[in-house]
Chains A and B, each alone.
Chain A
Amino acid sequence: MSFPDPIAVFRTEAAELLEQIEAGLLDLNVNLGDKDQIDAVFRGLHTLKGSGAMFGFEALAAFTHHCETAFDRVRKGEVPATQALVTAVLEAKDHMRALVETPAGDHEATSEALLANLRAAVDGAKSPGVHQAAAPAQTLFKIRFSLPQNAMANGTNPLPLLDELRELGECTIVADRSAIPSLDLLSPTDLHISWNVELLTSQPRSAIEDVFIFVMDDMRLEITVVEAVTAAAKSPEKPATPIQAAEPVAAEPAPVTVSAPRVPAPMTAAPAPTDAKANKASENVRVPAEKLDELMDRVGELVIAQSRLSQLAGGSGDLQLRAVSEDVERLSGELRDTMMVLRMVPVTQLFGRFRRLVHDLSHETGKMIELVTEGESTEVDKSVIERLADPLVHLVRNSCDHGLETPDERRAAGKPQAGRIMLSARQQAGEVIITIKDDGRGINRERVRAKAEASGLIQPNANLTDQELYQLIFQPGFSTAQQVTNLSGRGVGMDVVKRTIDALRGTINVISHPGEGSEISLAIPLTLAIIDGLLVRVGAGRYVIPLSAVEECLELSIEEDMRSRGRSFISLRDSLVPFLRLRDLFRTGTKPDPFQKVVVISTGSERVGLVVDQIIGDHQTVIKAMSKLHHDVATFSGATILGDGDVALILDVGHLVAEGQQQEAHLRAAG
């Protein structure tokens, strides 16, 4: 067991902070006056700066400092929160992420540009009334603090604290060396110095407390108001009192602080938000995904071992053995279900990203877009979520760019000016359905058809259902956009969607009503680790066909087999279905069984029959990835271990269907 790399821990923490900051900013964007969100963003920035400096991310700390300052002013009411400011900080936030990820990179220029942006946003936001209030109403504070003796051994460096105090205003710092022992008693790592500081600042007391936020717990800190320098803050001078006595701080520049009574709370209240967060975090355990995978593997093995046990127990007459076997069966089943739940995460995480995307897209396109999400608590396997991110980005972009009209067009069509995109998730019979719905112009059927005919995807005047027609938009290179924009129109995105969803063994369904909008639903299996499969035998080998792809099974009579030798087609309810003889494909070199079966599989609208020797039955399949040495074998998507310990290969349906279709095309060309 090794300790986690502190830098890695910081990165994870920073990523979370950045997410919080982003969420706060976006909420703020909706409701600019939301005091809680302003505070939340400020806190996030502050913590990021602090821990960044602690872990040596100097550039990050320096950069974040400016954003923090800006938000501090918003927090104090010196500057109102504006859209421009939120946008500037959002951009800055992305830059912070870059600084976290590649601290060594060359970020100077970007930093400068973003900060200039930020300054412009802050200055532009200053309203005259506030301006006057922001004029320095300065207070003289007397601060006395000492850190615990072991502070430096614990990694606290007092000098940056002093630097931060200096940044607050004019300050005189005197070190109190009276506590330093004689040389023979002196331990060089201990801290014996305390400091007396006189600080003339326009900042409130809380700003001083914030300086010490990370060392607050063990230190002694006394802050005394000596005198309010300007008339703005008339207050009776306070005697030197330790802060624990909870003196009301009337000396604070009152006009700007709405929440003045909040500040004089006892000292311990200041770090409270941090504490609360820490408590909440401790209820969750962070586990690397690979450990979960490992556990999943073990559980998979247990399920396999258990099925062998029940085979043995079933064969023996020993009742006690059977009882034990049944217990083990139940327990391992429950264990598997629990394990599945552990890997599940709510889609909130996934949907959260799109708020930002839509915000940006709305700026880029000049359209007003409203994003509504639904069913965010629906849970999906974590690895599925990760792989869904890309296709969803493409779909949302597509909706924003092609689907939604400009505000003028919308008004003309009698729709509300703001377009609406709805992301929803729900569970349905072992699948999760994710729907992207917009109320835009819908898919232009004629244009899709014209384009498909022009590029030779379909025969002219081919008789296609709506569904078949809409599926064409997922073909690579297919785009009906008349112009390629920054966002979309290159015909790449939908292809990515199709391929990813296929790889997840999911399906895509498109509904569209001209003028009313379109709806794209992705149906994806809940987990990638276990599937229902149909176990078949070809020659001596056993193979698994994913049950979700199986349409029907039928018998291939000897006559049909003979008759179809030349053409490899069967007619199924008046339509011709090409079939592949797996025995030939796998070169088993065995004789066909007298009663061969055809398993008809499909992906979407394309069907292919697979001729097998025997259908054994359905089988709960724990999927094992194929080794890297077998990555060139496209026919199989993975392997599984059967009850008797043998390995069975899982057929890649998409590949086989493509193969079958190709064969059909060859035959067409030949005949």
Chain B
Amino acid sequence: MNEAVRKISKDLWNGRDELEVLTFDIAGEMFALEAVIVQEILDLLPETVVPGAKAFVGCVINFRGKVIPLADIRLAFGMEATKPTIDSRIIVIAINIDGEPVLAGIRTDKVHEVTTLLRAAGEPPPSVGMRWRPDFIECLVKRGTEFIIVPNLNAIFAAEADRTGSSISHGSAQR
């Protein structure tokens, strides 16, 4: 676990030419996450809404007796919400936030496989012609005719943590 929660390095490849990743679909796009940070893949669980929390982490779930937030990275990419299907899964990942290991779930439409990405096939996100924030994308990797998006989770979680949500606690600023 300690190894797993190590920070996703700024340079994802970290000198390596290949990367083990888990690929999955969100809203028709294929994403990939470094396999070592993935803890577990779960069927959908009952979700508990946290009133006042940011929409990005609006729910918590019971992951083996731990209460962990469920993150919705669709919101970071401005994608439409999709209805849960029989293929929907939650990927539990371990990331570092401010130096502390944090478990979080990510809601996905379908999980594919663990595969190897080649550094040679990777490209940095294009600076124009993309509707997503470039800093949320670590790189795009070409496979066949498609691109796999490797999201930059650190950037996404940091940005979403800064954004002020639909806070109900107007009095909280004084505390």
Let me know if B48 and A301 touch, CB within 8 A: no
- Residues in chain B near residue A291, CB distance under 8 A: none
- B97 near A629 (CB under 8 angstroms)? yes
Q: Is the CB of B102 within 8 A of A629?
A: yes
Given contacts A629-B157, A659-B171, contact A300 B65 (CB under 8 A): yes
Question: A649 and B50 in contact (CB under 8 A), knowing A629-B102, A630-B69?
Answer: yes
Given A624-B66, A629-B97, residue A585 in contact with residue B48 (CB < 8 A): no
Q: Are B48 and A541 in contact (CB under 8 A)?
A: yes
CB distance B48 to A646 under 8 Å? yes
Q: Which residue of B lies closest to A586 (CB)?
A: B51
Do B65 and A627 touch (CB < 8 A)? Answer: no
The smallest C-beta distance from A55 to any residue of chain B, in angstroms, reads 26
Residue of A541, A626, A632 near B67 (CB, 8 A) is A626
B106 at the interface (CB under 8 A from A): no
Question: Which residues from chain B contact A585 at a C-beta distance below 8 Å?
Answer: 51, 168
B90 proximal to A (CB < 8 A)? no
What's the minimum C-beta distance from B150 to chain A, rounded to whole angstroms?
21
Contact B46 A646 (CB under 8 A): yes
Whether B169 lies near A659 (C-beta < 8 A) is yes
**Contact residues in A for B51 (Cβ distance below 8 Å):** 541, 585-588, 635
With the chains together, A587 CA to B49 CA distance in Å? 11
With A628-B97, A629-B69 already in contact, the answer to whether A658 and B62 are too (CB < 8 A) is: no
Q: How far is the CB of B98 from chain A (nearest CB, A)?
A: 7
Which of B67, B100, B104 is within 8 Å of A641, CB to CB?
B67
Contact call A655/B169, Cβ cutoff below 8 A? yes
Report the Cα distance A630→B160, complex, angstroms: 11
What residues on B are CB-neighbors of A222 within 8 Å? none
Give CA–CA (A220, B28) in the complex, Å.
Answer: 80
Q: Is B145 at the interface (CB under 8 A from chain A)?
A: no
A655/B66 contact (C-beta < 8 A), A586-B51, A635-B52 known: no
Q: Is A297 an interface residue (CB 8 A)?
A: yes
B172: A residues at CB distance < 8 A: 632, 634, 655
A392 at the interface (CB under 8 A from B): no
Q: Is A522 part of the binding interface, using a Cβ–Cβ cutoff of 8 Å?
A: no
Mostly, the B contact residues are mixed
Contact with A along B156-175 (1 / 0, CB 8 A): 01000100010111011001
For chain A, residues 139 to 164, give those with C-beta under 8 angstroms from any C-beta of chain B: none
Asked whether A624 lies within 8 Å of B67 as measured between CB atoms, the reply is yes
| Docked pose: A297 CA to B3 CA in angstroms | 22
Number of A-B contacts defined by CB within 8 Å: 98
Bound-complex Cα distance A293 to B17 (A): 41
CA distance A635 to B54 in the complex (A): 13
Q: With A and B bound together, what is the CA distance between A640 and B65 in angstroms?
A: 9
A639 within 8 Å of B (CB atoms):
yes
Bound together, the chains give a CA A587 to CA B167 distance in angstroms of 11
Q: Is there contact, CB below 8 Å, between B48 and A648?
A: yes
Whether the Cβ atoms of B62 and A646 lie closer than 8 Å is yes
Q: Which residues of A contact B175 (CB under 8 A)?
A: 634, 655, 658
Q: Is B57 an interface residue (CB 8 A)?
A: yes
Kindly state whether residue B60 has any CB partner on chain A within 8 Å: yes
Residue of B whose beta carbon sits closest to that of A646: B46
Q: For B71, what are the chain A residues with a Cβ–Cβ distance below 8 Å?
A: 629
In whole angstroms, what is the CA distance A298 to B66 when docked? 10
A627 to B168, Cβ gap below 8 A? no
Interface size of A by CB at 8 A reads: 34
Q: Is B61 an interface residue (CB 8 A)?
A: yes
Known: A541-B49, A659-B169. A628 touches B61 (CB 8 A): no
Q: Does A304 touch B at the CB level, under 8 Å?
A: yes
Known interface pairs A627-B102, A648-B48; A634-B169 also in contact (CB < 8 Å): yes
Q: Which of B54-75 contact A (CB under 8 A)?
A: 54, 57, 60-62, 64-69, 71
Asked whether B48 lies within 8 Å of A628 as measured between CB atoms, the reply is no
Question: Which residues of B sit under 8 angstroms from A625, Cβ to Cβ?
Answer: 67
Does A645 belong to the interface (CB within 8 Å)?
yes
CA distance A659 to B103 in the complex (A): 31
Question: Which chain A residues lie closer than 8 Å to B102 at the CB level?
Answer: 627-629
List which A293-339 residues lie within 8 A (CB) of chain B: 297-298, 300-301, 304
Interface string of A22-57 (1 = CB under 8 A from B): 000000000000000000000000000000000000
Chain B residues near A627: list those with CB within 8 A.
Answer: 57, 60, 67-69, 102-104
Interface centre among B68, B98, B157, B165 (most CB of A within 10 A): B68
When C-beta atoms are compared, the residue in chain A nearest to B157 turns out to be A629
CA distance A245 to B97 in the complex (A): 67
Q: Do B168 and A586 have beta carbons less than 8 Å apart?
A: yes
Check B161 against A629 for contact (C-beta < 8 Å): yes
Beta-carbon nearest neighbor of A585 in chain B: B168
Residues of B within 8 A of A639 (CB): 48, 60, 67
Q: Does A636 contact B (CB under 8 A)?
A: yes
Once the chains are docked, how many angstroms separate the CA of A658 from the CA of B171?
Answer: 8
Q: Report A-chain residues with C-beta under 8 Å of the C-beta of B167.
A: 632
Q: Which residue of B lies closest to A582 (CB)?
A: B51
Q: Is B53 an interface residue (CB 8 A)?
A: yes
- Chain B CB within 8 A of A662 CB: yes
Q: Does A558 sit at the interface, judged by CB under 8 A?
A: no
> Within 8 Å of chain B (Cβ to Cβ): is A647?
yes
Contacts of B52 in A (CB 8 A): 586, 633-635
A189 to B157, CA, bound (A): 56
Contact with A along B78-110 (1 / 0, CB 8 A): 000000000000000000011010111000000
Query: Across the interface, do A645 and B48 meet the contact criterion of CB distance under 8 Å?
Result: no
**Do A301 and B67 have beta carbons less than 8 Å apart?**
no
Cβ-neighbour of B61 out of A304, A640, A647, A655 (below 8 A): A647
Q: Which of B57, B65, B68, B171 contacts A301 (CB 8 A)?
A: B65
Closest to A631 in B: B161
User: Chain A contacts of B50 at CB under 8 A?
Assistant: 630, 633, 636, 649
Contacts of A304 in B (CB 8 A): 65
Q: Which residues of A contact B64 (CB under 8 A)?
A: 301
Q: In the complex, A586→B166 CA distance in Å?
A: 11
Q: Is the pair A630, B65 in contact by a Cβ cutoff of 8 Å?
A: no
Residues of B within 8 A of A649 (CB): 48, 50, 60
CB of B155, distance to nearest CB on chain A (Å): 15
Chain B residues near A646: list those with CB within 8 A: 46, 48, 62
Taken residue by residue from 649 to 671, chain A's Cβ proximity to chain B (1 for < 8 Å, 0 otherwise) reads as 10000010011001000000000
Query: How far is B87's CA from A162's CA once the two chains are assembled, in angstroms?
Result: 76
B169: which A residues are within 8 A, CB to CB? 633-635, 655, 659
* Chain A residues near B103 (CB-CB < 8 A): 627
Interface centre among A300, A628, A632, A647 (most CB of B within 10 A): A647
Question: What's the minimum C-beta distance from A545 to chain B, rounded to whole angstroms?
Answer: 15
A159 to B11, CA, bound (A): 51
In whole angstroms, what is the CA distance A396 to B29 when docked? 63
In the A-B complex, the 5 residue pairs with the closest CB atoms: A586-B51, A301-B65, A647-B48, A634-B172, A639-B67
Chain A residues at the B interface, C-beta cutoff of 8 Å: 297-298, 300-301, 304, 541, 585-588, 624-630, 632-636, 639-641, 645-649, 655, 658-659, 662
Please name 25 pairs of A and B residues whose Cβ atoms are closer than 8 Å in the assembled complex, sorted by A: A298-B65, A300-B65, A541-B48, A541-B49, A587-B168, A624-B65, A626-B60, A627-B68, A627-B103, A627-B104, A628-B100, A630-B57, A632-B53, A632-B167, A633-B50, A634-B175, A639-B67, A640-B67, A646-B46, A647-B48, A647-B62, A647-B67, A648-B48, A658-B171, A658-B175
Residues of B with Cβ closer than 8 Å to A? 46, 48-54, 57, 60-62, 64-69, 71, 97-98, 100, 102-104, 157, 161, 165, 167-169, 171-172, 175
15 more contacts with CB within 8 A, not counting A628-B97, A633-B50, A634-B169, are A297-B65, A301-B65, A586-B52, A627-B103, A628-B102, A629-B71, A630-B50, A632-B165, A633-B52, A641-B65, A641-B67, A645-B46, A646-B62, A647-B48, A655-B175
